[in-house]
Amino acid sequence: MSLFGWFGKALRVNLNTGDIKEEEIEKKLLTAWLGGRGLGTHMVYCEVPADGNPLGVENKLVFATGPLTGTSFPGSGRFSVSAKSPLTGTIFDSNAGGTWGVRLKSCGFDLLIIEGASATPVFLSIRDGVASLEEAGELWGKDVLETNQALTSKLGKAVSVACIGPAGENQVKFAAIMNDGHRALGRGGLGAVMGAKKLKAIAVSGNKKVAVADSDKMDLVVYEANKWVKANPITSKGLPEFGTPVLVHLFNELGVFPTCNFQGSQFAGAGKISGEAIAETIYSGRKGCYRCPVQCSRMIKIGNFTMAGPEYESLWALGPECGIDDLEVIAKANHLCNLLGLDTISTGVTIGCAMELEERELLKTGLKFGDAVGLLQVIKQIAKREGVGELLAEGSRRLADNCGCPQYGMQVKGLELPAYDPRGMQGMGLGFATSNRGACHLRAYMVGPEALGVPKMVDRFSTGGKAGLTITQQNINAAVDSLSICRFINLAVSEEYFARALSAATGVNYQPQDLHRIGERIWNLEKLYNLRAGVDSSFDTLPPRLLKEPIAEGPSLGRTVELEPMLAEYYRFRGWDEAGIPTPKKLQELELGEYSC
Amino acid sequence: MLTDFKRIGRDLFLSGLNSSHSGNLSVRYGDKIVITRRGSMLGHLEERDLIETGLTKNDSKIILASTEIGVHRAIYQGTSALAVVHAHPVHAIALSLLEDQILPIDSEGAYLLHKIPVIGAEHTIGSKELENSLPGLLSEYKIVMVRGHGSFAVGQMIEEAYQWTSSLEQVCRIICLTRSLQGELKDGRSAKFTDW
């Protein structure tokens, strides 16, 4: 099979038997689902029982690159991992940048499927396409940086490592898979799935080049795309200079910057933790992913120690969400999460939930809002499941449920909310409620139209038209995730360029509208899986606080999320019935008739 | 300030000097710039469309600023301007594709502008090249055309920069109309401004 953009090959590793085999991927699957999230969703739908235990042997981890991975297209250094999530019980994909995805593809594989579970700790080595499972008893218990160092010492600096830390080993429900040291496939607890399989790490290196069908056309599209990246102040100035913490002031001034488990929506200490504050105090340099002209990652220095700086979401979750405004403490907490392999958002929001439960005398943990020492201490306890950490390691939904107060868990479908108060951004609220993987800002990324004016600014308080806009965004973002392109490139470069680059890379003609349709198919397939898993429309909601308690101050004063009318419109617009189930007609229209819920 | 921006933005749009979402305006005060938001509609400016950011230094507001923020900053740093108007006047753009400079042939245009330089650039939007070349020219001329892209005009106030923009388009319409009539010009006053 002669392919461009893709290699058309998967590597399947069975940890029960130790069998490793190469498989061909049918071209029709690649052209239909592209790669990344799309192909991962398809594989999980077909191979992972929806009613299975996410931490059981029946779950699988699908690592996937995209057709643009390894090409010259800007922001094409990402990859994704899909599985059934132990945190949400839904189908779940998480993606990260760095170099790991590019290295996997340069081994000649579009997909890596991990199935079964090993009896003892192992790591997987894939070098120049040759794979082997190796004993990892000595790595078990090591943190993420130690694991990286051990494997690069053993296998050479050319390898890129994806691994779990102690949190993954202990099957913390929001454990991350970490790659290239500090990059995180953070959300959804996929690190716990890896831990349950006793797979400590995957080290990859390779030299295969991706064949591009029309390199002249690709060069032209890349040149034009880079022009926009360089011209747009978000990608040419804001993100390179301040990283994602550039968003702190913006959202604080809009009055949608949650504090203390979403009890407040503006943070008095925002100036102490903003992108500007980082630049003026602890910033030590920039770092970027493969082929990235933006280079938004921060390196910071505290004392003599250099570490990866916190992203906007992490900064918020470990800071204002817990009532903390000490930048160094937040940076240390972020570093600790990276070492232990914890999702920073879920960690911070779960701790914030525990702090509110303590405040209300519903749980005895000793954790109080603003308690910096307690924050650092409890992060370690969570990763080790020690003391109060055992309770918190299950996430905010189970924590609040166990205390008999589910309303204080700031989560949707079990996934903790990120750093935006949707009461002041109605589309964001609808996006959180309807997201197939729970409260995720990236599925619809309404930050674009409701705060950054991308593609155009809309009234953030209005519910009118938000259903259609949310759906359009969800669909196109599903396709972008399947190309495995960074979302920040999408802030400057429209999907037209993605379609042209995809056509040039693969030799298959794609129009922008095709990307929307592919995204819609992915969204519907995810929904079908979730319905099979018992995650129905009753989960398409928000924490009661966001629906009933108006914001008490600031520019979003008096707002709640008016979810009900938007949700009804959303289902109609999707072509689903009133119970939020895709109709046979819609499935037929999307050529998903063979799939069912 | 919003009133001035709204008034001038609306006029620029209604007189066809900008399309629905093109163009940008800014004013300088001290070490700050107030510039229109990226993607804002100049004909319908609101308070949220005015973005205040640093003259030389970025801050977090930069992510909302016009794509041409770099050029506006360079102009302020290289000239004594206190206001900049960037527009896309169609007749001026058409002429810029044919000429290296535009010489007004009508008396008012010649009186006000004398000569309008035209410069080309590989990248014309959010362009480093233009950040380098425009300030020097705008130290000498009130308004400069970027070939195939649009005009940058400076003033002590925003209305002044708007006037040069409006005058330029008037000048260019007259040139285009005269050329379409294909007669011989009876007045050669523009020639003397070739080396202006």
Report the 3 state secondary structure along chain B.
CHHHHHHHHHHHHHCCCCCCCCCEEEEEECCEEEEEECCCCHHHCCHHHEEEEECCCCCHHHHHECCCHHHHHHHHHHCCCCEEEEECCHHHHHHHCCCCEECCCCHHHHHHHCCEEEECCCCCCCCHHHHHHHHHHHHHCCEEEECCCEEEEEECCHHHHHHHHHHHHHHHHHHHHHHHHCCCCCCCHHHHHCCC
User: Sign of dihedral through CA atoms A167, A171, A174, A178?
Assistant: positive
Return the structure tokens found at A29: 């699957």
- Tell me, yes or no, if B58 comes closer than 8 A to chain A by beta carbon: yes
The answer to whether residues A98 and A180 touch, using CB atoms and an 8 Å cutoff, is yes
Measured between CA atoms, the residue of chain B closest to residue A271 is B60
Q: Do A238 and B63 touch (CB under 8 A)?
A: yes
Give the separation between CA A350 and CA A204, rounded to whole angstroms: 33
DSSP conformation letters of A7-29: --EEEEEETTT--EEEEE--HHH
- The model's pTM: 0.94
Residue contact A232–B123, C-beta within 8 A: no
- Inspect the interface and report whether the beta carbons of B64 and A250 lie closer than 8 Å: yes
- Quote the pLDDT of residue A434: 98
Task: Note the pLDDT of residue A483.
Answer: 97
- What does each of the 597 residues of chain A score in pLDDT, given as a tens digit? 589 999 999 999 999 999 999 999 999 999 999 999 999 999 999 999 999 999 999 999 999 999 999 999 999 999 999 999 999 999 999 999 999 999 999 999 999 999 999 999 999 999 988 999 999 999 999 999 999 999 999 999 999 999 999 999 999 999 999 999 999 999 999 999 999 999 999 999 999 999 999 999 999 999 999 999 999 999 999 999 999 999 999 999 999 999 999 999 999 999 999 999 999 999 999 989 998 999 999 999 999 999 999 999 999 999 999 999 999 999 999 999 999 999 999 999 999 999 999 999 999 999 999 999 999 999 999 999 999 999 999 999 999 999 999 999 999 999 999 999 999 999 999 999 999 999 999 999 999 999 999 999 999 999 999 999 999 999 999 999 999 999 999 999 999 999 999 999 999 999 999 999 999 999 999 999 999 999 999 999 999 999 999 999 999 999 999 999 999 999 999 999 999 999 999 999 999 998 877
What secondary structure letter does DSSP report for A518? Answer: H
C-alpha gyration radius of chain B: 16
Nearest CA in chain B to A491: B63
Cα–Cα distances (Å) from B118 to A529, B95, B107, in that order, read 60, 9, 20
CA of A333 vs chain B CAs: smallest distance (Å): 24
Token pair for residue A243?
Answer: 């990283």
The rounded radius of gyration (Å) of the Cα atoms in chain A is: 22
Contact of B190 with chain A, judged by CB distance below 8 Å, is answered with no
Widest CA span in chain A? 66
- Looking at residue A90, its pLDDT comes to 98
In sequence order, which residues have a C-beta less than 8 Å from that of residue A544 and are 6 or more positions away? Answer: A407
Chain B residues lying within 8 Å of A233, measured CB to CB: 38, 62-67, 69-70, 126
Residue whose token pair is 């120690």: A305
Compute the distance between CA of residue A208 and CA of residue A499 in angstroms, rounded to an integer.
Answer: 24
pLDDT of amino acid B189: 74
CA distance A298 to chain B (A): 15
pLDDT for res A64: 98
Q: What is the full DSSP assignment across A472-508?
A: HHHHHHHHHHHHT--HHHHTTS-HHHHHHHHHHHHSS
**A230 at the B interface (CB within 8 A)?**
yes
Q: Which of B20, B51, B60, B149 to mutate to test the interface with A (most CBs of A within 10 A)?
A: B60
- Name A161's Cβ contacts closer than 8 Å, sequence gap at least 6: A100, A147, A148, A151, A152, A179, A180, A181, A201, A202, A203
Query: Nearest CA to CA, how far is A275 from chain B (Å)?
Result: 7
| B111 contacts: CB under 8 Å, gap ≥ 6 | none
Question: To the nearest whole angstrom, how far is the Cα of A325 from the nearest Cα of chain B?
Answer: 18
Q: Which residues of B touch A276 (CB under 8 A)?
A: 59-60
Nearest-Cα residue of chain A relative to residue B59: A276
The answer to whether B69 contacts chain A (CB < 8 Å) is: yes
A303 touches chain B (CB under 8 A): no
Q: Which strand (E) or helix (H) includes residue A298?
A: strand A297-302
Q: Does B61 reach chain A within 8 Å, measured CB to CB?
A: yes
Distance from CA of A276 to the nearest CA of B (A): 6
pLDDT for B144 beyond 70: yes
Residue of B nearest to A452 (CA): B64
pLDDT over 70 (residue B178): yes
Q: Which residues of A touch B64 (CB under 8 A)?
A: 233, 250, 452-453
Q: What is the pLDDT at residue B3?
A: 94
Q: Are strands A111-115 and A9-14 parallel, antiparallel or unpaired?
A: parallel
Chain-centre distance for alpha carbon A143: 21
Interface of B with A in 23-52 (CB under 8 A): 37-40, 48
Of A230, A234, A455, the CB nearest to B63: A234
Q: Which of B64, B70, B123 sits opposite A227 (nearest CB)?
A: B123
pLDDT in tens, B49-76: 999 999 999 999 999 999 999 999 999 9
**For residue A80, what are the β-bridge partners?**
A64, A95
Task: Determine contact, residues B121/B133, Cβ cutoff 8 Å.
Answer: yes
B65 touches chain A (CB under 8 A): yes
Structural element, H or E, at residue A113: strand A111-115
All residues of chain B having their beta carbon less than 8 Å from the beta carbon of residue A249 are 59-61
Nearest alpha carbon to residue A143 among A307, A387, A367: A307
B74 touches chain A (CB under 8 A): no
A228 in helix, strand or coil? Answer: helix
Q: What is the Cα–Cα distance from B21 to A453, expressed in whole angstroms?
A: 12
Any CB–CB contact under 8 A between A241 and chain B? yes
Across the interface, do A452 and B66 touch by the CB < 8 Å criterion?
no
Contacts of B62 in chain A (CB under 8 A): 233, 237-238, 241, 246
Nearest CA in chain A to B62: A238
Contact criterion met (CB < 8 Å) for A232 and B38: yes
Of A327, A261, A266, A339, the closest CA to residue A300 belongs to A327
Cross-chain Cβ contact A233/B38 below 8 Å: yes
Question: Which candidate, A399, A395, A397, places its Cα nearest to that of A364?
Answer: A399
User: Which of B126, B127, B128 minimises the CB distance to A232?
Assistant: B126
Output b/e per residue, A321-351; b: 16+ Cβ within 10 A: bbbbbbbebbbbbbbbbbbbbbbbbbbbbbb
